Amino acid sequence: MRLYNTMSRTKDEFEAGPVVALYVCGVTPYDTTHLGHAFSYAAFDVLIRTLRYLGHEVRYTQNVTDIDDDILKRSKSIGVPWDELGREQTELFQRDMSDLNVLPPTHYPRATEEIPGMVGMIQQLVEQGNAYQVGSQVYFAAATAPNFGMLARLPREEMLKRFEDTGDSPNNPEKRDKLDFLLWKGSGEGEPSWDSPWGAGRPGWHIECSTMAVRYLGPRIDIHGGGDDLIFPHHSCEIAQSEQATGQAPFSRIWMHNGVARLDGVKMSKSLGNLVMVRELLGRFSPDAIRLYLLRHHYRDSFDYDEKELVRAANDAALLQRRVEKIGADDDVTVDSDQLPQGVKVARRLCIAALVDDLNTPDATRAMMELATIDGDEAGIILRQLAGVMGLRLRRS
């Protein structure tokens, strides 16, 4: 398998061991679930299914950032307690993912349940001289991390701008260096807080993922994924603090980043109100139609929502469903690979070759559509197997 590695900017050979450790950044549960979420998690779901098809076990951790400034702002604006908002939105997200046939992670930790571990990691960084306290705040000293920001390869001024955009002001006079970032934040009046050696407060965004990844997958993981908007600062900060805390590098062998879903050329976001919600689409289209639509875009590409394309995907999903229905409902039916017709062998080989070449789901779906045109039970059986790798149920609801 070859995967595009954001760190190297090349497709790298991924030599998977018997067990693959995968971490994908999860949602901040206050605007779930929009099409951009579905695009990301459907793509990583196909990665997991492909690895398992190839014979590997996958230990997959996906977090829930259920304490965050955005949650607190949303909670205040709608008059719903922050923890209740987080629970409701997390449950909605899980239901949407289940309906889209996205496999659940092996570990699904909530940030609010992992705070003692975060405090412990911050303490270690302070003791080692990688972090420092100013009042009730604790900052990571970016200068103590060799090659800080290498993942993003941005000039210093652009890094500072992106910090500003995420609310971690580089102009805070408490900081020794403008690139230093928050590990622990003192809570304001009426805000949720937890005890720590630095006073009551809550963890910074970046330390949450480092703590959960290390706890559930170890100090070095195989693949770390997320949206390309997380490359800086989030993932760059994760690398710095994780490698300094554990003393092991690289934190992740492969960094995979997906593109974003847009509406009329603008990235979908709650603040702009330009979201296409999965729950609304599920009321009009089958889960297979939505998945097929999403997987016709390569995971690294951003795309504009186009309902006409979704309608075409719905028609094609129905065609695939009718094709596999011709061979009955027994999912355990197998065929001798050596006895397959040549056309079926070629289509299967093209599908799997596409998936192991940086998860090329557009080419994989084209191979499946070609397979659907081939007569015979063998073609239907292989089509159903490949549909499973792509996460398509191909059943009537």
Residue 29 belongs to a domain: yes
Measure the CA–CA gap between 28 and 326, rounded to whole angstroms.
43
Q: Are residues 311 and 255 in the same domain?
A: no
Q: Are residues 329 and 252 in the same domain?
A: no
Q: Are residues 122 and 210 in the same domain?
A: yes
Q: Are residues 81 and 163 in the same domain?
A: yes
Q: Which of 214, 242, 267 is the last residue of a domain?
A: 267
Q: Are residues 229 and 374 in the same domain?
A: no
Average pLDDT of the segment spanning 372-379 = 94
Q: What is the DSSP letter of 233?
A: I
Average pLDDT of the segment spanning 335-363 = 94
Q: Are 315 and 339 in contact (CB under 8 A)?
A: no
> pTM of the prediction?
0.96
**What pLDDT does residue 88 have?**
96
Measure the CA–CA gap between 125 and 207, rounded to whole angstroms.
11
Residue 289 belongs to a domain: no
Query: 221: pLDDT confidence band, cut at 50, 70 and 90?
Result: very high
Q: Which of 267, 295, 314 is the last residue of a domain?
A: 267
Q: Are 59 and 21 in contact (CB under 8 A)?
A: yes
Q: CATH number of the domain that 323 lies in?
A: 1.20.120.640
Provide the domain limits for residue 331: 306-390
Coil, helix or strand at residue 389: helix
Q: CATH number of the domain that 37 lies in?
A: 3.40.50.620
- The single-letter code of the amino acid at 360 is N
Q: Are residues 12 and 91 in the same domain?
A: yes
pLDDT in tens, 14-52: 999 999 999 999 999 998 899 999 999 999 999 999 999
